[in-house]
Structure 1
Amino acid sequence: MTMQVLQEAHNLRNKKINKIEKMKSEQDPMEFIKTFEDFCKGSYEETVNDSHTKHFLKCLGLYDKGTSETFVIRIRIPGGQLSVEQALKLAQCSKKYGNDYIDITTRGQVEFRYLKFNELPLLLKDLSTVGISAIQCAGDNFRGVVTSPFDSYSKTSPIETMPLLKEIQSVFLEQEAWMGTLPRKFNIAILGDSINTCNIFGNDCAFALASKNGEIGFNLYLGGKVGVQARDLNLFVKDHQVKEVFAAVISLYKEYGFRDNRNKNRLTFLLDAVSLEEFAKAIKEHSKLELPQAGELLVKDEFTLDDSSTIELKDGKSAIHFGIPSGIFCGSDLEQAALLAQKHDGVVRLTYEQSFYIITNTSSIEDIKQSSLYKKYDSYHNIYFNNQIACAGNKECSFGVIPGKPDAINMAEYLNKNVPIEDGKVRMYWSACPKGCGIHGVADIGFEGAKAKDEEGNSCYGVKIFLGGKAASSILEARQLTKAVSIPKAQELTAKLLNIYKEEKNENETFESFDTRVLSSLAIEEIQTRIGL
């Protein structure tokens, strides 16, 4: 009976499938991938000339930007974890193929830009020599699986998740049955830490640390996407059940997910149609597992980085933070980071806030702080850059309304100059359009790109400002503070917000976040009044 409910919902929404689904039925992506090297020997104009080709390129993690020298590749970095060898290879490939440019993404992955069409197979081969792949990183596929950057090192993590992450990947990675066959993209996270260091609830499928009857495991959350937090399925999953439960979730989504309106085909829409209870029953039926009700959720706190830029971990280890403004990085600096990690017996870990850590022995931290690389980024160790995110923006994305990354950097520099605050935390995330790839909806202060009017009434770049998003909660609480305002006006209003924070902070407290001091204690109407809206 449970599967009948899913089937009825599927039938109701799939009377007419979209054109992408028709393409999928006409050609096997694996056949395209097998002939990719020969394909790239032809001319760009003659080969990359239809939407079929663009779809299949995405199965290799490649985006066609419209010319033979502007391809983008999204590279899979499981859990954001890089060995020294892999980091060095990425650095080398960035310099060799991508103009020494790297974007760190909001999933702790990396993107190269400015790639030449005929060099794409060479790049993929180079990456494969150190076990790095871009396959299935774009299109209707599984994006990079995320976890805590401190996995296996954190004092607040009773379980290591990387082995489980690899089990999850083994279900779909490079498997023909899962190559480009989902109704839409699918994001996955698993977190074995009580501190939310990976935006756990912003994923289609999330395993969040929990406890039941004294046993550590995970509560299952499903249906997250930009602007929508994942919802509690009321199921407790033991660590040895994670792979089977995940396989059940994606099998149900693949079979019963909607394939008509691509704007409404993510997993969350199937959950809306059949109810969380029915989908939970379907998971148990498909997996044949007796899954109990959810346990106590242990993921309760958001991550905090102070001005010291270091995090003390267990077993004599520490992590040193390198704040990368808006995730704009380069191969030359990644090479330096890899060599620093190698020198100090460390590892590189990428973060969802578009930065990275070197994790090493605590005794090595001061040596790393003397390096030229650390000094280059040291000026970004302040509350305006520590927790900053910005999506690609209109230069790289056709949906973008504003540049985005430059706006985020300019805002942070403006605030640091005009409202300096030494001790605190504010998460400022930027999306260049309403699609929200900069996850502004879960920020303390979120910015959504929009067209606005300047003081003379002329059209200009602008943003809508949002307040009060929660990354550590499965409930999205962002509230719109303003209509579209120009970028200079947004800077002025945000400075007023931060002045409220500065004025309200308790001098007797060693640390208070913007969320704790302003958003949790003042009504939005009072905030609007105090900043002159």
Structure 2
Amino acid sequence: MSTPASRHHKRPRGEGQWALGYREPLNKNEENKKNDDGLNVRQRIIDIYSKLGFDSIDPADLRGRMRWYGLYTQRKPGIDGGKTAILEPEELDDRYFMLRIRIDGGQLDLRQLRVIADISNDYGRGTADLTDRQNVQLHWVEIESVPDIWRRLEEVGLSTTEACGDTPRVILGCPLAGIDAEELLDSTGEIHEVHDEYIGDPAYSNLPRKFKSAISGCPAHCTVHEINDVAFVAVQLPTGEKGYDLWAGGGLSTNPMFGKRIGVFVRPDQVADVYGGVIGIFRDYGYRRLRHRARIKFLVNDWGPEKFREVLETEYLKEPLPDGPAPEAPRGNRRDHVGVYPQKDGNFYVGFAPKVGRLDGDKLHAIADIAERHGSGRVRTTVEQKMVILDITPDRVDSIVAELEANDLQVRPSTFRRQTMACTGIEYCKLAIVETKAVASNLIDELERRLPDFSDALTINVNGCPNSCARIQVADIGLKGQLVVNDKGEQVEGFQIHLGGSLGVNPGFGRKVRGLKTTSDGLPDYVERVVTHFEDQKKEGESFADWVQRADEADLK
């Protein structure tokens, strides 16, 4: 008697997709979220933990739900990178927190900036780091101070709600929205509408993983739409009507994927509903069985854009969307806003480069004072760990540039200062293996000294672990922190090197050359060597990423 074919094939294991009936939690994180919504931790912080102190915090809140309000325990000082993957979380935890303040669209007025500066000085030992998602992160925050921090932030319209966790995180936007003379659309209204409708809503506070968004009309494509979970990129129809091209499924980390065009044209008044549809698909169909496969990129990759569009239109929007055009190529070869440029109203904006995003409370106050003295009430953060001051009249440009540069806030920085980013690193992060901020800062100083005339675009992204918070795979030189063996046979901090990653017209992930690593101490020598080879061999107009694709391996080592 023959065996039925079905017996030879196991039923595929459920991926934990709610829409297919898999409602029982399949891992510890999902169990915690089912037991209690992360948004509910706020009241416990106010009523219990801030009054009774660190030791009163429930472990499920401490290492889980507190992220829903931008709080992570920071790394206990003195634990080397070799222990990162070995120790239990409670052994890595310090009794202090990193606190992430969400700045949707990177938009701040001076009152808000000063409140962040005061909180930094009063409660964060003066720390303030700009992230590559337009947020500000403080460190050394004690649980007792959190309610007062929230009160101060909320009085000026800021918050930490869903700055971390399996939630809709900060919405990226062009810092020049509404003022760039060449922008297709001012996305400010759409960002506010999405924020007000979805952030802090319990209907969307239990996602399979984090959810990163961007809405922008920027001609430089500064919000890197290709690597967001969902992105709305301004486009124009042949009729002249302006709207957005929808992208979904981008993300880096240990399994990088570029976002895919869903192929639809979204009117500005439809953005909030379409965002709700995409995040609804992620909530309901996203994979919840394995954390490392839970980002929306895996679902989009498995379904493909056509099925994703069909489910979006039929199940969530209940109406079809028209086809739309792809975005134009990005303006220029540096997708940032550093320097002095005209606004559409005849004034100027001034973008400047703090070193690897590292600032402090006093420096934030100085930025606010400089802006105010020069007639500006608005500053912006960028996705490159930089800042922009808006609305400078032509007669005050020279003065503000001089004053910013006197405060080591470079308006005309070297390529190395302008285009080097670094994640938090082992100084505060429990996932990190190596130091990043000081290493990157030293690298900038060394390269400026050794290669003073280098002027090509060149991104150098420094990451303390494999998770790619600093976007290593899409950098010209991407540095992934790990322990390496030096010439003396000792295990020391260092980096695996990715070369020639890029976004834009020819997107691609960095090339890995077999065995290409460097110690942290040897990093300046390595970068000087490979950049010198590029300068010697490049053809007219050739980018570093293009050169890497054709270069001999010997010249990349």
Question: Normalization by structure 1: what TM-score?
Answer: 0.91
State how 1:108-507 maps to structure 2 within 5 Å.
108-179=134-205, 181-214=206-239, 215-226=241-252, 227-285=256-314, 286-301=316-331, 304=334, 309-346=339-376, 347-361=378-392, 362-371=394-403, 374-378=406-410, 381-421=413-453, 423-473=455-505, 475-481=507-513, 483-504=516-537
Q: Which residue of 2 aligns with 1:38?
A: 47
Letter in 2 for 1:429: N
Give structure 1 stretches of 5+ with no counterpart: none
Decide whether the 8 Å contact of 2:222 with 2:335 is kept in 1.
Answer: no
Equivalent AA in structure 1 for residue 49 of structure 2: C
Q: CA deviation at 1:222?
A: 0.5
> In the aligned structure 1, how far is the partner of 2:60 from the partner of 2:260?
34
Instruction: State the one-letter code of the partner of 1:151.
Output: A
Distance across 2 between alignment mates of 1:373 and 1:416: 16
Q: How far apart, in 2, do the equivalents of 1:97 and 1:64 lie?
A: 15
**Percent identity between the aligned chains?**
23
CA distance in 2, matches of 1:149, 1:64: 30
One of 85, 95, 102 as aligned partner of 2:111: 85
In the TM superposition, residue 419 of structure 1 has moved relative to its aligned partner by 1.6
Give the aligned partner of residue 19 of structure 1.
Answer: 28
**Distance between the aligned counterparts of 1:191 and 1:168, measured in 2?**
13
CA distance in 1, matches of 2:506, 2:35: 39
> Offset of 1:495 from its aligned partner?
0.7
Paired residues, what number? 519
1:31–1:419 CA distance, 2 compared to 1 (3 A) = closer
Bigger mean CA offset, 287-296 vs 69-78:
287-296
Q: Name the CA distance, whole Å, in 1 between partners of 2:56 and 2:402.
A: 50
Distance 1:307 1:33 in 2: 36
Q: Tell me: CA distance 1:305–1:235, structure 2 relative to 1, closer, same or farther (3 Å).
A: closer
Q: Which moved more, 1:323-332 or 1:336-345?
A: 336-345
- Once the two structures are overlaid, the 10-residue window that deviates more, 516-525 or 335-344, is 516-525
Preserved contact between residue 211 and residue 298 of structure 1 (Cα < 8 Å):
no
User: Tell me, what secondary structure is at the counterpart of 1:196?
Assistant: coil
Give 1:55's match in structure 2, choosing from 64, 71, 78.
64
What is the identity, as a one-letter code, of the residue corresponding to 1:193? C
The alignment partner of 1:460 has SS state of: strand
Q: Aligned equivalents of 1:45 and 1:450: distance in 2?
A: 31
Aligned residues of 1:78 and 1:146 also touching (Cα < 8 A): yes
CA contact (8 A) 1:70 1:113 kept: yes
Residues 498 and 510, structure 2, Cα contact 8 Å, conserved in 1? yes
2:99 is paired with a residue whose SS is strand
Q: Contact 1:202–1:225 (CA<8 Å) still a contact in 2?
A: yes
TM-score normalized with structure 2 length: 0.87
The CA deviation at 1:524 is 4.2
Specify whether residues 302 and 465 from structure 1 end up closer, same or farther in structure 2 by C-alpha distance, changes over 3 A only: farther
Distance 1:330 1:17 in 2: 42
Shift of 1:411: 1.5
The alpha carbon displacement at 1:259 in A equals: 1.2
Q: Which string of whole-angstrom CA distances, capped at 9 and with x for unpartnered residues, describes residues 262-285 of structure 1? A: 111010111233222111101111
Residues 458 and 544, structure 2, Cα contact 8 Å, conserved in 1: no
Query: What is the root-mean-square deviation in Å for CA atoms of aligned residues?
Result: 2.6
8 Å contact kept, 2:483–2:494 = yes
Q: CA deviation at 1:217?
A: 1.5
Q: Which runs of 5+ in 2 are unaligned?
A: 1-13, 75-89
Question: Aligned in 2, Cα 1:28/1:477: closer, same or farther, shift over 3 Å?
Answer: closer
* SS across alignment from 2:349: strand
- CA distance 1:182–1:305, shift in 2 (3 Å): closer
Worse-matched range after superposition: 66-75 or 86-95: 66-75
Question: In 2 relative to 1, CA 306–241 (structure 1 residues): closer, same or farther, beyond 3 Å?
Answer: closer
Q: CA deviation at 1:475?
A: 3.6
Q: Is the 8 A contact 2:416 2:458 kept in 1?
A: yes
Which of the numbers 528, 545, 548 marks the counterpart of 1:519? 545
Provide the secondary structure at the position in 2 that maps to 1:74.
strand
